[in-house]
Amino acid sequence: DLFQYEGSIYAIVQTNQGNGDICLAKSKDGIHFSFYKQPLITNKSCGGIEIYKPTALVVNDKIYVYYTFQQVNRQKFNMMYVTSMRFDELLKKLV
């Protein structure tokens, strides 16, 4: 998914279909994107086994990342989660 923030276009991307990470990419023109090296969320960091279909938006300078994943002990269910923080602070941590 794509969203805009302060003149740039950002993409929230899952690195692969199953055990992927959630990553952030940035573009000035909407065509050429550069990925930040550090993922936002990994299976290991969220305690799950399969992340699926992340999306994000920025409201009042705060990023909200929505995603589902399966917990190790509850593999029949995809649980939806949201995490948030100030977007400028997040970008400083990723550089």
Would you give the DSSP letter of residue 44?
A: H
H helix intervals, the chain: 43-46, 87-94
- Rounded to 5 degrees, φ, ψ at 20 are -80, 170
Nearest to 51 by CA among 6, 85, 15: 15
Nearest to 42 by CA among 57, 24, 23, 26: 23
pLDDT digits (tens, 9 = 90+) for 10-63: 999 998 766 678 999 999 999 999 999 999 988 777 776 778 889 999 999 999
Give mean pLDDT, residues 57-72. 90
